[in-house]
Amino acid sequence: MAMIDPAQERQRLAEIYSSQSDGELEQLAGKMSELTDAAREALRAELARRGLYVGHLDEPQDSKAEEFRDLVPIRTFWNLLEAELAKGLLAAAGIDAFLFDDNMVRLDWFNANALGGVKLRVDADMVEEANRVLEENVSADALPEEDDSPA
């Protein structure tokens, strides 16, 4: 597979951009995040040469950038199936929930003791709602206890 020379690619794109109208360049600038580095560089140079400014030309978002969330543990499970069911209940209620240490337990369930179980976590602002959903479903599914006392 032939390697593309970045300098030649920038030159090729500069020629293409120089032949486009101002409107076409502005439209292209609106899709800056979809362009390669060489294309962005050539487009910026052409816009600067023409004295055009198309708002703030955002750099593409780094797809590897993580969104940090304040996740709070609300339940700990020793049984992976119960953890998955609880997560599913929350997902059905529209609450983002995450299991921690579930993969380690899935590999070997003896790991649950060492890790302190599988932790179910939700965003800090959703703790009350998540607890309410889980408590409602547990109490609705629970069978009534049988009365062992003599009548």
Residue ranges per structural domain of the chain: 8-50, 71-141
pLDDT(150) > 80:
no
Count of alpha carbons within 13 Å of 43, Cβ hemisphere only? 24
How many CA atoms are closer than 13 Å to the CA of 134, on its beta-carbon side? 22
- Across 30-55, average pLDDT: 79
Instruction: Give the model confidence (pLDDT) of 82-130 as tens digits.
Output: 999 999 999 999 999 999 988 888 888 787 788 888 999 999 999 999 9
**Is 60 exceeded by the pLDDT of residue 44?**
yes
- Give residue 64's pLDDT: 45
Query: What does the radius of gyration of the chain's CA atoms come to, in whole angstroms?
Result: 28
Q: Looking at residues 56-61, what average pLDDT do you find?
A: 50
131 pLDDT exceeds 80? yes
Assess whether pLDDT exceeds 60 at residue 58: no
Q: pLDDT-based confidence at 75, cuts 50/70/90?
A: very high
How many Å apart are CA 102 and CA 111, to the nearest integer?
A: 10
> pTM for this structure?
0.50
DSSP notation for the chain: -PPPPHHHHHHHHHHHHHTS-HHHHHHHHTTGGGS-HHHHHHHHHHHHHHT---S--PPPPPTTPPPP--EEEEEEESSHHHHHHHHHHHHHTT--EEEESHHHHHH-TTHHHHHTSEEEEEEGGGHHHHHHHHHHHHHHHSPPPP--S--
